[in-house]
Amino acid sequence: MKAIHVLNGPNLNLLGTREPEVYGHETLADIEARLKAAAGKFNVALTFRQSNHEGDLVTWIQQAGRAGEPVILNAGAYTHTSIAILDAIKGSNADVIEVHLTNVHAREHFRHHSRLSAAVRGVIAGFGSRSYDLALQAFLFASATGES
Active site residues: 23, 100
Rg (CA), the chain: 14
What is the C-alpha to C-alpha distance for residues 129 and 45, in angstroms, rounded to an integer? Answer: 19
Alpha-carbon separation of residue 91 from 19, 60, 77, 99, 145 (angstroms):
35, 13, 21, 20, 26
